[in-house]
């Protein structure tokens, strides 16, 4: 896994291996999921990222390809217990998830209950051993020092990535936050930027700031240069 800075793509289509093609809207149905998987297979995105209930279908549709199945956990609030997150993770892995994007216990972090945050991440890490674990810290709700602390806790709990945002809170990824996260984790972890990335220039800026992965519902627009639709993830 790449933890070093990612080379800047020279063409939009070169973004494809860095994109988690993301469909997390609660109203997404089977036709939407099939379309996202078809787009991911066509453009060779890194993964399709979905809610846990949709993992079995997505894993089936992607089976035998290089495109991975990614499931969110504790999404979008991070406000379930560590036991719940571990169980949700184990179930997602059982049904074919290759990667897990978990939301931390944000309230515990803001309270300074750092052991609780670390243990929360560690419980999910144990439940998805051998798979990629990305830790969503929800930067828009944190001070800069809390962001640094969250990154350090993710590293201590043996996560693979730190990730900026759920895309469902008050803000998404910013270049400043990606740069701060990269500066904190160095080469120990990868960095995923997500939330509000809907065009080539924004994606390129995130990679230049230190992102190794881009989470976006507008993956096709990013790699084709077409206008992105909507204002979602």
Catalytic residues: 101, 163, 192
Strand partners, 70: 49, 99
* CA–CA dist 208, 6 (Å, integer): 8
* CA–CA dist 196, 216 (Å, integer): 7
* CA–CA dist 77, 149 (Å, integer): 19
Beta strands in the chain (DSSP E): 19-23, 47-50, 68-73, 99-103, 132-136, 161-163, 190-194, 213-216
DSSP assigned state of 98: S
């Amino acid at each position: 896994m790449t933890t070093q800075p990612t080379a800047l793509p020279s063409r939009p289509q070169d973004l494809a291996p860095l994109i988690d093609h993301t469909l997390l809207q609660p109203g997404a149905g089977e036709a939407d999921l099939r379309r996202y998987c078809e787009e991911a297979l066509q453009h060779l995105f890194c993964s399709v990222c979905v809610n846990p209930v949709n993992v079995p279908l997505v894993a089936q549709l992607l089976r035998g390809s290089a495109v991975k199945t990614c499931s969110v956990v504790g999404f979008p609030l991070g406000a379930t217990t560590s036991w719940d997150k571990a169980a949700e993770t184990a179930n997602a892995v059982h049904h074919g998830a290759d990667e897990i994007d978990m939301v931390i216990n944000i309230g515990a972090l803001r309270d300074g209950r750092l052991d609780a945050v670390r243990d929360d991440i560690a419980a999910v890490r144990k439940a998805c051993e051998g798979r990629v674990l990305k830790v969503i810290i929800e930067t828009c709700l944190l001070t800069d020092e809390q962001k640094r602390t969250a990154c350090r806790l993710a590293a201590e709990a043996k996560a693979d990535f730190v990730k900026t945002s759920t895309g469902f809170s008050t803000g998404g990824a910013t270049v400043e936050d990606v740069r701060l996260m990269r500066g904190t984790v160095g080469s120990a972890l990868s960095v995923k930027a997500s939330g509000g990335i809907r065009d080539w220039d924004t994606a390129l800026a995130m990679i230049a700031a230190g992102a190794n992965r881009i989470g976006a519902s507008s993956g096709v627009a990013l790699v084709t240069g077409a206008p992105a639709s909507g204002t979602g993830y």
